[in-house]
A and B are shown apart, each in its own frame.
Chain A
Amino acid sequence: MAQGFLDAWALVFSFDVDLYEIIFLSLRVTISAVIIAALIGLPLGAWLAVNRFYLRRYVIAVLNALMGLPPVVVGLFVYMLLSRSGPLGGFGLLFSPGAMIIAQVIIITPLIASLSHQTIRDLWAEYHDLLISMNTTRAQRIMALLWDGRRALLTATLAGLGRAIGEVGAIMIVGGNIEHSTRVLTTAIALETGKGNFAFAMGLGLVLIALAIIINLMIHMIGKTERAGTW
């Protein structure tokens, strides 16, 4: 165990090409997915918070339910969509990073939308009278809420990042864990552990843990700047 741990450290700092390829792909897939999910989820959350319409409650309930979707099932769903005989089979995306990004987007968009909805809703309750009194247009209101809620919205986005980077089930199904192509941190760990290649698996695990810690530290620091009002 201790030896495996030391080997893992050595591997991380040996700048092993395979290892860094895997890390790089993980980041590329996850960050792409988070950017897309944020572009969908943040405006959706803001829109749900500021607009009153007939089915709003149900949309929010569905959103919250989607947050709890088992990633494996999302993987299965995306697999069926993208498989050769599926409705989107023509794009040939299955077992590519694109498929992994699609699955990640489906998994984390509800999370980002739901968290940003709560944030914007609370801020809107606070600002409502003031912004109405100041005769703001709807666009000005949404801008003010997004801007003043930016820390919480960034936190919501980072929460999405945290969820995406550690996800394995869906990625495995739609990506296929193909070496030099769709192998990412989580799927590689699963594979190397299965093969008994503990040092490599642990090296990957250390990197994954480091990334998770960095994300959470960022969330924590954003919370602090909010209270201190530094930006």
Chain B
Amino acid sequence: MVSILPLKLTAATAHMRGKRLVGPVDFTLGSGGMTLVIGPNGAGKTTLLRLMHGLQRCSGGALIWAVPDVEARQSQAFVFQAPIMMRRRVIDSLAYPLRLRGMAKRAARGRAQECAQRFGLEDLLSSWAPMLSGGEKQKLSLARALIVEPEVLFLDEPCANLDGSATREIEAILLAAKAAGTRIVMSTHDMGQAKRLADDVIFMHKGLMHETGVAAEFFATPLTPEARAFIKGDIVE
């Protein structure tokens, strides 16, 4: 299968009602690894991810995948900060993306069952998805995103509302997905999580990519005073 990467952003900008939310941004997302998008609240992390995924219109500049957009869309998935639960049972929620791709109901449910086992959701298969706990919902979101084996997985602060053990489970799943070759781009406001997971870092500030680079270097020797302050845990304005 042809890779949809790299993704190239050239002066990519996102506006909403005349207000600039993000950009202009120049960036190339290459293959392999896990990129963490960090930065203070309102810095534009969510908007950047939505822009890359195509949920937010590119109002200026360009955003180009290695393949035509229609194909690129098929190989991506997105996990939202607040899990969106369809009003279905867990098994049918998991089967849904497969059904969309034309898989027969039986086959899709079979795959959903396997997938649930891998994610520790097997006891919840017949539960009503909207009734799950926060951690279970986010695990289901993640399973539903990964079941189609996307090449690129975007996650917007997936652990923001979760406790420690749920966060640990999600991180383990993400590391396994990365090992299996999934390109992961994830935002977080949790410095610890960023340090645990990141291969690369995008530090967002005021809608711009203030600093980008290899995680180890970024955390050891941040170049800008804002990044330095953010890593130290100071309040960045």
A interface residues, Cβ below 8 angstroms from B: 123, 126-127, 129-130, 132-136, 140, 144, 148-149, 226, 228-229
Instruction: Say whether, besides A127-B84, A130-B84, A133-B53, A229 and B100 are in contact (CB < 8 Å).
Output: no
* B78 contacts the other chain (CB 8 A): yes
Q: Which of B86-94, B184-192, B193-201, B229-237 lies on the face that meets chain A?
A: B86-94
Contact of B86 among A140, A148, A228 (CB under 8 A): A148
Type the 1/0 row for B54-92, where 1 means its CB is closer than 8 Å to any CB of A: 010000000000000000011011101000101111000
Are B128 and A126 in contact (CB-based, < 8 A)? no
Instruction: Say whether, besides A132-B55, A133-B77, A229 and B86 are in contact (CB < 8 Å).
Output: no
Q: B87 to chain A: which residues have CB within 8 Å? A: 123, 148-149, 226, 229
Are A148 and B80 in contact (CB-based, < 8 A)? no
Given A130-B80, A144-B96, A229-B130, 4 more contacts at CB 8 Å?
Answer: A126-B84, A129-B78, A229-B87, A229-B128
Q: A228 to chain B: which residues have CB within 8 Å? A: 128
Contact of A136 among B84, B89, B100, B127 (CB under 8 A): B100
Total contacting residues, chain B, CB less than 8 A: 20
Least CB distance, A153 to chain B, in whole angstroms: 12
Least CB distance, B124 to chain A, in whole angstroms: 12
Are B89 and A229 in contact (CB-based, < 8 A)? yes
- B contact patch SS: mixed
Q: B84 to chain A: which residues have CB within 8 Å? A: 126-127, 129-130
* B107 contacts the other chain (CB 8 A): no
Cross-chain pair count, CB within 8 angstroms: 40
Interface residues of B in 100-140 (CB under 8 A from A): 100, 127-128, 130-131
Contact of B55 among A129, A136, A149 (CB under 8 A): A129
Interchain residue pairs with CB less than 8 A apart (20): A123-B87, A126-B84, A127-B86, A129-B55, A129-B78, A129-B80, A129-B84, A130-B86, A132-B55, A133-B55, A134-B77, A134-B100, A136-B100, A144-B86, A144-B96, A148-B86, A226-B87, A229-B87, A229-B127, A229-B131
Q: Which of A127, A148, A229 has the most CB of B within 10 A?
A: A229
* B97 contacts the other chain (CB 8 A): yes
Q: A135 to chain B: which residues have CB within 8 Å? A: 73-74, 100
Docked Cα-Cα span, A215 to B98, in Å, equals 37
Least CB distance, B211 to chain A, in whole angstroms: 28
Docked Cα-Cα span, A126 to B86, in Å, equals 9
Contact of A133 among B78, B127, B130 (CB under 8 A): B78
**Minimal Cβ-Cβ distance residue in B for A126:** B84
**Minimal Cβ-Cβ distance residue in A for B70:** A135
Least CB distance, B129 to chain A, in whole angstroms: 8
